[in-house]
Structure 1
Amino acid sequence: MELDQSRTPLFSAIKMIEAKGITPFDVPGHKRGKGLKELKEHLGEQVFEMDINAMVELDNIFNPSGVIKEAEELAADLYGAEKSFFLVNGTTSGLQTMIMTLCKTGKKIILPRNVHRSITAGLILSGAVPIYLKPEYNNQLGIAMGVTPENVEKTIKENPETEVLLLTNPTYYGVTSNIKKIIEIAHSHGLYVIVDQAHGSHFRFHKDLPLCALEAGADMIAMSLHKTGGSLTQSSLLMVNNKSIDADIVRTYLNLIQTTSPSHILLSSIDVARKQLALEGNKLLEQVLEVSRYAREKINNLESFYAFGPDLLGNAGVFAFDESKLGIYVKELGLTGYEVRDILYYEYNIQIEMADLYNILCIISLGDDYKSIDRLINALEDIKEKHCKAAYDQFFEKELIIPEVIVSPRDAFYSRKKVVNLEDSIGEISGESVMAYPPGIPIIAPGERITEEIIEYINLLKEQNSSMQGPVDPLLNQIRVLGF
């Protein structure tokens, strides 16, 4: 029986408690904002009224039996999953929980190289050994695409003892692989399939969007509802879609890494965003797609810009495309994506999602309209007139680097280390991760061999003022490697 998706059990319970006017002698210490007056004056009273402790009526996220349980059941029902878990530590905690649940120490997991840094952390926590899939690569755009079913099956056959396959659906730029076929292949070989669908919480609600991994048969998925579904930052969903996976065990692993002080503001935002998607998702996403298509058409009529999208379909590793991801190729301007990002921010007061050497990425979501898109288009047109240079040669034509894994990420993480100059680290085994953020895909991860090619790429990104994260040395002049 379908559940009543117009209900918001948790949010309704919070509003009921607000109406009581309770005198608090518990945490949080701001006591409904009286202890933090400056912020209360800025935010207003309501947000502090919602920032309350886990009272009896609000259930307990660690072992829910009341309104949180009801809210999670509504989310599972909406997405067609067996079980749903609310996350307030972001999709990071969901990805790590999935890996810890299904991957034990020393066991192999097959996954694309272009995965998020949180998955590397999940490998460290679980002790699993990565077997990396090489994604397809678009040389013009300089970005990785999806993985092919043929490559997945080949890798599974080469590693018959593997028990888990991890997929990304979609990539940061909106590309999705043929996940239905890939999942069928993996299941035929006895593998569980877990999916990072951080950027795809909206997929289920419009026919023109890529397939949700749950509909494709994935066993577990994690989704950032805050990225594309309308909830507040940090709020996400973990879904189990296989009766053979013990939901109680999943909860046990989740409770190891999820905060003991979950924000009811974040939790209620999941509840309300779920209701909105259920009741209005198709209509809202129709508007998102209309605006996205308008943006692509206008930008592609501007000289020196290329807003890529569904025209990539049929290329290797591109089975479907999320049109709400507005990737714009800017190399013909003679500027890098990083330079265009900075110009948009400092000269036009426009914040984009991320940049790389050749592209910028804008996220079009439920809150966008033609007015905001026109601001972006006008700014790009102005940038072309004021900043365009002679087109430069490609900085880095090589495909995504897949380093050699020497020891497991967990063993490398806990091993003795020494600090060496980055330029002197060729041949060493990395003891830490290095990544440009966003998107947070590791260039090198713990346990992998450092090569001259990797150092060249890191230095290139440093020259472009890319935000580099992971190493202890924030300037990345030095790196920790295994040794004494």
Structure 2
Amino acid sequence: MTHLSQEKAPIMEALNRYKHMRVVPFDVPGHKRGRGNEELAAFLGEQSLAVDVNSMKPLDNLCHPVSIIKEAEQLAAQAFGAKHAFFMVNGTTSAVQAMIMTACTAGDKIIMPRNVHRSAINALILTGAVPIYVNPGVHDELGIPLGMSVQDVERAILENPDAKAILINNPTYYGICSNLQALTNLAHEHQMLVLVDEAHGTHFYFGENLPASAMSVGADMASVSMHKSGGSLTQSSFLLINNEMSEGHTRQIINLTQTTSGSYLLLSSLDISRKNLALHGRQVFEKVAQMSQYTRDEINKIGGYYAFSKELLNGDTIFDFDVTKLSVHTREIGLAGIEIYDILRDEYDIQIEFGDIGNLLAYISVGDRQLDLERLVAALAEIKRRYAKDKNDVFDHEYINPQVVATPQKAFYAPKKNLPLAESAGYISSEFVMCYPPGIPILAPGERITIEILDYIAYCKEKGCFLTGTEDSAIQHINVLKEVE
């Protein structure tokens, strides 16, 4: 591939040319550059609506790029060290699903950690692939799921030599990384594809002294949430391929589910953000890491909170840690992370990324200011002083090993009946129950409902977690398989 200048942003440049042409639009979208919807134009700005345009020859077509989008994809591939990069406008959810749908068909086995995002299990429902779960360890003190042990993955591979692929989180929502190089080498030794969910790892490609990225270790595919740490608009992501993965076939898989009306707002944001990271990413993420470390140190001085980092490393299930992540354990002050999440928003006008039962996560980026960091630290100190209580009131772990009875696809489409959640113990769930974020299912289709799981769900409700996944929006009832297996 010819080396391209990362100074270029082909999609943005083409949109600017198009704006200057003053073309009369007799095509969709019907707002006609905002003139047909004045309230929307006033809210979003005429500049935005002027480039909310339809696919056409001068602007290429996301389903089959031949010009500016193709060039933008080549630039992204070079920036990320990939064979090819696909622009994704249905979020990283669609990128994760495209990876699994590329690697697996109905009945194929795929090895994955159980603490995957719901998008991965959704892909199993769509494809009929069979999950071979490697249960992550749980950190005794923090109660959070860790990475996959190399030994556990090797055992899963030897017991399932016909598996087509392995899916790896890099990193987890909390910033924890498995031994990506060792797992990639192991899978390739057994002719399995390596798929990596890097929704929270965009910066690994551009920062220094950060964990290894999927492409750097020779993984076959990776889904990258540019809109998280990469600076692009929400819902915009990249799907990267490497090695012998077919660009044409992967594009066909993507086109099975991705919109045929790709938003040029999202596409241009990917293009501009890639340019920014390629040119300035090292300095950007060095600053983010410094801000995170400063805030971690200040929070740990408060006492009671534990903002964790590389001191957790154990060479295996916590092989590396993303130091840009500000993950804070809250159990010692007797408050669930979700309770602090609510207090920060309701009483201090501070919105953090998420709080779960024992931890919270504040997402720090180059857009943050020192004053903002100080305000967060001060709020946490005051919350401790005002609200701290007995730590025994807090649930002692986040992750419950599931009992998998049926494949997600079989359970999702099986004959079912609806039961009150409180009466469902012993039955097999045919739907999800999850706290969102982080979107890791507490229950997934095909898993047995246990008293322990019901107690955990009840506790999540009591603490104010936002539960989703069931047909019943109140999460009072659940669909289960008609027969208890």
Q: TM-score range by the shorter chain?
A: over 0.9
4+ aligned runs moved over 6 Å, structure 1 = none
Q: What letter is aligned with 2:146?
A: M
Q: What is the alpha-carbon distance in structure 2 between the residues aligned to residue 216 and residue 351 of structure 1? A: 35
Contact 1:84–1:238 (8 Å) recurs in 2 = yes
Contact 1:229–1:366 (8 Å) recurs in 2 = no
Contact 2:336–2:394 (8 Å) recurs in 1 = no
Matching of residue 359 in structure 1 with residue 359 in structure 2: yes
Matching of residue 78 in structure 1 with residue 79 in structure 2: yes
Contact 2:146–2:176 (8 Å) recurs in 1 = yes
**Counterpart in the other structure of 1:142:** 143
Q: 1:394 to 1:349 in 2, by over 3 A?
A: closer
Contact 2:125–2:412 (8 Å) recurs in 1 = yes
Contact 2:304–2:333 (8 Å) recurs in 1 = yes
Q: What is the alpha-carbon distance in structure 2 between the residues aligned to residue 455 and residue 289 of structure 1? A: 39
Contact 1:9–1:71 (8 Å) recurs in 2 = yes
SS of match in other structure, 1:3: coil
Q: What is the alpha-carbon distance in structure 2 between the residues aligned to residue 152 and residue 328 of structure 1? A: 28
Q: What letter is aligned with 1:92?
A: T
Q: What is the alpha-carbon distance in structure 2 between the residues aligned to residue 91 and residue 44 of structure 1? A: 27
- After TM superposition, the structure 1 stretch with the greater mean CA deviation from structure 2, 89-98 or 377-386, is 377-386
For 1:109-120, list aligned pairs within 5 A: 109-120=110-121
How many residue pairs are counted as aligned between the two chains? Answer: 482
User: Cα distance, 1:370 vs. partner?
Assistant: 1.2
For 1:394-473, list aligned pairs within 5 A: 394-397=394-397, 400-473=399-472
Q: 1:88 to 1:407 in 2, by over 3 A?
A: same
Q: What is the alpha-carbon distance in structure 2 between the residues aligned to residue 405 and residue 145 of structure 1? A: 20
Q: What is the alpha-carbon distance in structure 2 between the residues aligned to residue 427 and residue 97 of structure 1? A: 34
- After TM superposition, the structure 1 stretch with the greater mean CA deviation from structure 2, 366-375 or 270-279, is 366-375
**Counterpart in the other structure of 2:18:** 17
SS of match in other structure, 1:68: helix
Q: What is the alpha-carbon distance in structure 2 between the residues aligned to residue 395 and residue 44 of structure 1? A: 47
**Counterpart in the other structure of 1:322:** 322
SS of match in other structure, 2:281: helix
Q: What is the alpha-carbon distance in structure 2 between the residues aligned to residue 409 and residue 339 of structure 1? A: 32
Contact 1:136–1:316 (8 Å) recurs in 2 = no
For 1:60-459, list aligned pairs within 5 A: 60-243=61-244, 245-314=245-314, 317-397=317-397, 400-459=399-458
Contact 1:124–1:413 (8 Å) recurs in 2 = yes
Q: What letter is aligned with 1:419?
A: N
User: Cα distance, 1:327 vs. partner?
Assistant: 0.7
Q: What is the alpha-carbon distance in structure 2 between the residues aligned to residue 284 and residue 236 of structure 1? A: 19
Q: What is the alpha-carbon distance in structure 2 between the residues aligned to residue 451 and residue 288 of structure 1? A: 42
**TM-score (structure 1 length as normaliser):** 0.97
Q: What is the alpha-carbon distance in structure 1 between the residues aligned to residue 182 and residue 289 of structure 2? A: 26
Contact 2:115–2:136 (8 Å) recurs in 1 = yes
SS of match in other structure, 2:16: helix
User: Cα distance, 1:476 vs. partner?
Assistant: 1.4
- After TM superposition, the structure 1 stretch with the greater mean CA deviation from structure 2, 113-122 or 358-367, is 358-367
Q: What is the alpha-carbon distance in structure 1 between the residues aligned to residue 46 and residue 164 of structure 2? A: 51
- After TM superposition, the structure 1 stretch with the greater mean CA deviation from structure 2, 385-394 or 372-381, is 385-394
Cα RMSD (Å) of the superposition? 1.3
Q: What letter is aligned with 1:378?
A: A
Q: What letter is aligned with 1:351?
A: Q
**Counterpart in the other structure of 1:40:** 41
Q: What letter is aligned with 1:476?
A: I
Q: What is the alpha-carbon distance in structure 2 between the residues aligned to residue 260 and residue 445 of structure 1? A: 30
Specify every segment of 5 or more residues in structure 1 that has no aligned partner in the other structure, as ranges: none
User: Cα distance, 1:420 vs. partner?
Assistant: 0.9
Contact 2:110–2:163 (8 Å) recurs in 1 = yes
Identity of aligned residues (%): 49
Contact 1:429–1:448 (8 Å) recurs in 2 = yes
Measured against aligned partners, the alpha-carbon deviations of 1:94-126 in whole angstroms (never above 9, x if no partner) come to 110111111110111100010000001100111
Q: 1:394 to 1:343 in 2, by over 3 A?
A: closer
Contact 1:230–1:366 (8 Å) recurs in 2 = no
SS of match in other structure, 2:202: coil
Measured against aligned partners, the alpha-carbon deviations of 1:254-294 in whole angstroms (never above 9, x if no partner) come to 00110111110000000000000110000111111111111
Q: What is the alpha-carbon distance in structure 1 between the residues aligned to residue 450 and residue 306 of structure 2? A: 33
Q: What is the alpha-carbon distance in structure 1 between the residues aligned to residue 207 and residue 225 of structure 2? A: 17
Q: What letter is aligned with 2:418?
A: V
User: Cα distance, 1:375 vs. partner?
Assistant: 1.3
**Counterpart in the other structure of 2:3:** 2
Measured against aligned partners, the alpha-carbon deviations of 1:192-227 in whole angstroms (never above 9, x if no partner) come to 110100000110112211110110111001010000
User: Cα distance, 1:43 vs. partner?
Assistant: 2.5
SS of match in other structure, 1:366: coil
Q: What is the alpha-carbon distance in structure 1 between the residues aligned to residue 30 and residue 392 of structure 2? A: 56
- After TM superposition, the structure 1 stretch with the greater mean CA deviation from structure 2, 324-333 or 171-180, is 324-333
- After TM superposition, the structure 1 stretch with the greater mean CA deviation from structure 2, 359-368 or 270-279, is 359-368
Q: What letter is aligned with 2:388?
A: C
Q: What is the alpha-carbon distance in structure 2 between the residues aligned to residue 391 and residue 198 of structure 1? A: 32
Contact 1:132–1:402 (8 Å) recurs in 2 = no
Q: What letter is aligned with 2:454?
A: I
Q: What letter is aligned with 1:363?
A: Y
Q: What letter is aligned with 1:452?
A: I
